[in-house]
Every structure is written in C-alpha cells, then in structure tokens.
Structure 1
C-alpha cells in the first residue's frame, strides 16, 4: 500500500468472484472510494486489510481518504469521490449529521453510498444503501454485561468516551447503560468524560478521575487504545487489583493485556470481516444487485476466561 498526497491507492488483481463461486463473465469490477473518519486507528488497519484481500478477488480498485477526524475535510473528500466518478462511495462518519449534505449529493449524482462502522443519522439513511459494520450499541451492551458480571452487579464505573456526539460514542454508552438496566445492576456511573479516541488523552483523563473518585470499581474505555491508556494510569496508581479495565476492538495489545490478567475484557470487533463485507456489497451494487439495509459483523465478549478462544481473531 502506498500513500500519495494523503490518498491511499490500492490496485487489485484482475480476478473476479467469491471464493468457491464463479462470477458472471460480464460483471463489472467496482471502483470504490472510501472516506474513513480516521486511518490512525488499529481497527482501520484490520478493516483495510479485509478490503484489500477481497478487492483482489473482485478486481476492484479502492481509493482511500483520511480526514483525520475533521468533519469539514470529510465532506470535501466525499464530494471528491463523487467528482472522481467512483462506482461506490464508502463513508465512516466523523459526525453523523455533518455528512448528510455530501451523501445527499452522491445520491443525486447516482453514486451509491455505503456507511461503514460509524453510521449517519436518520435523515442520512434516505441517501444510503446499507450500513456495514459492527453495531456499536451491541459492543457497549457486551461491555456492560461483562462489567455487571465482573462486579456482581454492584459497583462504581467511569466511562472514557470517544469524540462527543459521534455515533460510536453515543451508542456504546447507551448499550452499556441498557445492559446494566437489564441486569438490574446497582452500578453507579460516576463520570463520563471524552478522550477523543486518544490513548494519551485517556491516560490524562483517567489520572484525573482517579484523583476525584477514589472508589472506582471499573473503567470502560470506549476503544482499546483508550482502555490501555486508562490501564497505564491505574497501574501507575497501584490500583490494578482494585479496578477492572474494559475496552472495545480486540486489538492485539489489549488481548495480550487480558491474557496477562492486566485488563479484564474487550468487545471484539471483527474489523477484517467488515472490510470483506464492504467490498462484496460494492460489487453487488455496481452490478445492479440489491444489498440488505444492514450487513453486520458479530461482536464477541473477550475476557480472561475466553481469551484463548478468540486470541487468533485479535488484530
């Protein structure tokens, strides 16, 4: 993979079809324009690998833009994808509302839009063909279940979130709260503070939370890098035996920490599969086929008890 002027270009082999299935002789290989929310995240690396591998099967060309969590840049990049006459545009929303005007323009130009991992809002759904990814609500719910079980339904929790207002931030918090409610857990959420998907910011936030809340039982970092940043703060304060740390993603560093008994759990996000499913959906759309409104990759709770079952899927 090479990067030129901020754009990553993937050139795939000229082979068509799913493994074990022959593609129609006249099927078109799609040109896919992907606008991530940020390429600076391990989950995107795994997702991109899935797209690259599947693109090689379909003969697809994938061009990727990285707005680095800037919603204004993302809108401009989506418009650039349309101007490039891509067959399909794939968007991982920085802001679910901010992308709506751009994906509306894509729809009006006859370019189908797939949302990937971070969805648009209800208004935006009128201009998209499908959402492909893990359900962030389900991830939050899985973490909530793990926390409730680990604390025997009683304790005090702090939450370190991604960027305020983003789909994953909102849904992971809501999922966690729903799991507590369904378990009839007596768990108090002491604080919910953003760290903007940054490990370094999460470390600083957690240091502050430890000072303000001496009775923390668990921390939910809404992705593994933030959870690992929180873990560093917990260890620096000598409280790793008191405070259980949970994350989302299933990256290798987090899985290693779970294996070592330092981190208690993560909701495994099968990002590679999301990449695979995205290319398949783009291929179908390009060739006039319908795709489901939602194409979901499963979420798996990974704890010290289950880490050996899932370690091979950590990325």
Structure 2
C-alpha cells in the first residue's frame, strides 16, 4: 500500500490525511493528539499510529496535533465533527476542558475513543471507550518499587521523598500522582513525601525543579517522577550537585531511563510501549465502528522494571 498525504486546512491547524491510495477507505477516523513534539513517547506514538493506518486498507485517518494547546484541541474536535469523520480519537491536553467538545461529538453521533490519558469522569457519558494504561496502577507500582528498595537499604522508617509530577490538569499526571501518594503510605507508612512540584513532562524543567529541591532539602532519599524523561532530568541535577545515594523511580520507561538503569544510576520504572498504545487506540476505534462490545476502560498491562529484572525487557525505542 502507498501512503498518500494531503494538506487539510481547518480552523484548528493543518493536518495530514493518511489513506489507502488504491481506493476509498471503509472507515474515516480523526485523531487529535496532545503534543507530539514534547517528548519521544508522543513522537513515537504519532509515528506508530500513522504506520498502523497505512498498513490497514480499510482505514483513512485525519491526524492532528494540538501542540499542548487546549483551545487548539477543542477547535480540532469541532473541525473533525464538521468533516463528518466516523470516529474521533482524542489524547486530551486537559481532561476537564475538553469535555464540552467531546459532548458535541457525542451529540453529533460520532463515537469518541480516548487514548493514553483519560478525560475527567464528568465526561465519561460522552466517551465510547478508553484505550491506554491504568495510570493509577502505574503510580501504585512505582511506590511499591521505591518502598521495596528502601526496605532493602534499611531506611524505610526514615526516608524522605520528593516528587516531580507531570503537566498540571493532565489526567495522566493526576492519576500517577494519586496512585503513588495513596500506595506509598500503605506499603511504607513511615516514608515522608516532603514536596511535589510539576515538571510538565520536560527534562530541562524537571532538572531545575530538582536543583531547587536539592538546595531546599539536605536529606533526599528518593525521587519519584511521573515519567523517565523527568526522572533523568532530576538525576542529572543530583549528579551535577554531587548528591549520591538517591533512589530514582519513574514511570513510562524511556530509553534514557533504561540506559541510566544500565549504569546503575536509576533504580526502576514502569514499562509502557507507545507503539502498543497507538495500535491499541486504532484497534479500539475500529472495533467500536464494527459494533463490538468493549469494556469502557480498555487497559493494557504495564509491568514493573528495575535494575534487577531489566534484562527481561527490550530497551525502549523512544
């Protein structure tokens, strides 16, 4: 199959239409993504989604990117409604703010599939299915990884932890923080989370956040980051300051996190593939259009990865 691209001008932004050039596709699906250029996970997701569409003769997709801008994403959803796509996949920039636009799609008879990061519960009635990871479980598993390491070190009664969360208002960030905050006191009740600050999924910002933590706190035993990109930013700050012995735990095991684990500098994370994420979103949309019964929360598994078991996992490509 040959890839055909053409520019689609809209009120939201220019997008690419990926289709089978041999003939009319059976399904026309629109997707508006969160922020493709912000990190390697989202870049790989975008590439994998386009490849999955290209490999499926039955599908044509209008692929849009909100660039992290809520207003742009809302305009993109409204534009996809006007284009009369048969299904809309949304990777929300903000789980609350997009609800009115998702409601418009629902009222127009267009099924909405949310990918990767869910919208707020108030919008669930307007969504056909969510496809992605269970982010609360990821946060819980990260807490367990950290607690187990503290117990191995014998500091589970005195350890102090700082947390670098993701983008404020973003459901994944909220859920991973909740999973960690709720689970850590259950497994290590004497460990203290002394402060949480957002890193916005950005390595450089997270490094600055960690630099401020290091100045403020003489004792930091662990760092939990909402993804490995931010976690490695924090690690870089600690290395530059000469602060050793800190246990770094993240989520969404990026290649940089995997490499830092190989060096013995970064302890653990949660293994999640953007390739699986993208393929699952497209499959969910097709299954919905085929009339298949799906669970509302259509999760894929994301296991723990640490220095102890990392040989069981392939190095991430993102």
What TM-score, normalized by structure 1, do the two folds share?
Answer: 0.89
Tell me which residue corresponds to 1:295. Answer: 298
Checking the alignment, whether the CA contact within 8 Å between 2:18 and 2:63 is kept in structure 1 is: no
Task: Give the Å deviation of 1:262.
Answer: 1.4
Q: Does 1:268 align with 2:271?
A: yes
Tell me which residue corresponds to 1:38. Answer: 35
Aligned residue among 256, 262, 278 for 2:281? 278
Deviant stretches of 4+, over 6 Å: none
Checking the alignment, whether the CA contact within 8 Å between 2:19 and 2:25 is kept in structure 1 is: no
Q: For 1:77-156, list aligned pairs within 5 A.
A: 77-152=76-151, 153-154=156-157, 155-156=159-160
The aligned length equals 303
Summarize deviations over 1:115-161 as a string: whole Å, max 9, x none.
Answer: 11111112210100001001111111111111111111341100011
Aligned residue among 288, 310, 314 for 1:311? 314
What stretches of structure 1 of length at least 5 have no aligned partner? Answer: 16-26
Q: Does 1:47 align with 2:45?
A: yes
Task: Give the Å deviation of 1:31.
Answer: 1.7
Q: For 1:232-251, list aligned pairs within 5 A.
A: 232-239=236-243, 241-251=244-254
Q: Does 1:168 align with 2:179?
A: no
Checking the alignment, whether the CA contact within 8 Å between 1:130 and 1:295 is kept in structure 2 is: yes
Tell me which residue corresponds to 1:22. Answer: none
Tell me which residue corresponds to 1:11. Answer: 18
**CA 1:43/1:102 → structure 2, altered by over 3 Å: closer, same or farther?**
same
Tell me which residue corresponds to 1:18. Answer: none
Aligned residue among 177, 201, 205 for 1:197? 201
What TM-score, normalized by structure 2, do the two folds share?
Answer: 0.89
**CA 1:273/1:218 → structure 2, altered by over 3 Å: closer, same or farther?**
same
Measure the CA separation in 2 of the matches of 1:175 and 1:143: 8
Describe the SS at the equivalent of 1:299. Answer: coil
Task: Give the Å deviation of 1:313.
Answer: 4.7
Checking the alignment, whether the CA contact within 8 Å between 2:197 and 2:209 is kept in structure 1 is: yes
Measure the CA separation in 1 of the matches of 2:315 and 2:216: 38
Task: Give the Å deviation of 1:99.
Answer: 0.7
Measure the CA separation in 1 of the matches of 2:150 and 2:137: 20
Measure the CA separation in 2 of the matches of 1:14 and 1:277: 24
Q: For 1:185-224, list aligned pairs within 5 A.
A: 185-224=189-228
Tell me which residue corresponds to 2:161. Answer: 157
Measure the CA separation in 2 of the matches of 1:202 and 1:13: 42
Describe the SS at the equivalent of 2:42. Answer: helix
Describe the SS at the equivalent of 2:117. Answer: coil
Taking only aligned residues, the RMSD between alpha carbons, in angstroms, comes to 2.2
